[in-house]
Structure 1
Amino acid sequence: MKEEEKIEATDQTGKKYNYWPLVLPVMVTAIVAIGVYVNNFWGLPPSRKPSDWAAFATYVSGTVGVAAVVATLMAFVITLKQQKKLIDSQSDMIIKQEQQLDLTRQQLEGEERRRKVELVYNCAVNIIPPVVKELERQRVMRSDYFFDGFDLVQEVPPDVNIHQTVGELFSDGGEYSWLDQLDKGWLICFGEALTGNAYRLGVLVSDCLYEAKELEDYFRSVIGSDNFSMIECAMLFKKNSVNSGFSRHQRALRIVDGKQSNPAAQFWHDLGEKAFEKPTE
């Protein structure tokens, strides 16, 4: 809280009210009432009758007592007003503290937002390009490299050209329909190997776009249309896999679910439906 706010609060709540203006009239009333009573009955011996003392008590309560009650009520009203001022002052301080907390929270959120955007731009410049190059390298690799790694040669139909590149398996003119003939286990293993790099790049770009949408054109330019088509196929293939986060990535990368406009994307979409069961709602 600012220093002037503290002083203002002290002025409003720390000032003590002087109750002597209420006490003095009661004292004067008591002196006058008792003086009049003594003046009228001066010289008489103290009474031994309870009725006389009862009459004296009634007299005192009717004079001094009434004045004391009135003064007490006035003091009570003054106390209530002071408490109201104190409550109002505390309410004002609470409101100002909440405003200060909101301002601090906004500053922290702004700083956190700035830090995230800074990390995204750093990722866009220093991380995305090498990952794209790795994907480019994979696209020109021959698919039989993966056959050897998974011992899939005997699973591939004999009329399939096993020397085609990985990129051709994701292009409209490629020969990829034979993948649908693989057993589910082999299909998942081979599909994961083929789509892994493209999928990871898609997730990375998607996370960046959630923090900095203005980088979409930059990413599409750096990645290229062929690589982005491969990313799209990879996302569609793994959309039903565990923790795929497809809905989030779909919105960021503008990927259409369901029926696809090109045969390759549609094939990998259907292949993913076969490989991974849809999660139950």
Structure 2
Amino acid sequence: MNTTMLYEALERHYRKPGAAHQGEILIREVPAPGSGRQADLIRIGLWPSRGYALDVHELKVTRADWLRELADPGKADAWWPHCSRFWVVAPAGVVHTNELPPGWGLLQPPTSVNRRRFTTVVDAAVKEPQLSLELLATLARRTDNTRLAEMDLLREQHRDALYKARTEARQHAAQTGLGEYVRRRLNLLDELEKLLGATLDDFGWGDGTRLDRMTPYELASALADCRDHIRLQQRQARVEELMGRLSYAAQNVMTEMRKVGNGNG
């Protein structure tokens, strides 16, 4: 088991796949206040029934990695005052229980693929964490970054699903033939691509997202922006036309006034 697999397994331990987040926030690689030493995973408990908590997890996948941790406990020392519990997370055989410093807990991943809950080999000591504005700001910032990253991932997955569905629909249509209405709509798309000077597969919009990978909402917003831009251009052209007419009329008036003035003279 490598570190990535252990990360994912630990997140499944706290969050059942496909379910809501169940009152916990999980944040990877968080620096300790006043230190550059990072905790591998922070778990913030949000439900009183499960206990409010700020748990620090250190992930170890090899015996050598664990022995290096014991030789240099600086990371643990940096986080110890600020956590409710301090856990070492490692597969069986990596950590010997008699090597754990006082207060440290030990979690082991399940050995069966049908299980997701970790085994608590040694309970971690529970204590009151020392919270500071620096720590709260760091946790809030990293939580927001994690949320945005998850939203970007979901959006990209949605785009991939839409793209796959559209591609399959095109292939199916090519194999089964098209009705008159569908052919007429496709002809309109051909005309649109000519006006754009690019195919929809290649045309980038705004942040560079291709039109054929946009969600329906994003595509509607893009077309609405395009419509508003066209209307603005039309109004500007209308104003310029009226200004031209007024200028022409003003010149004619001035010419006639000069004629009248010359006649009186």
> Could you say which structure has the higher strand fraction?
2
> Could you say which structure has the higher helix fraction?
1
TM-score normalised per structure 1: 0.25
Q: Which has the higher contact order (CA 8 A, sep 6+)?
A: 1
TM-score normalised per structure 2: 0.26
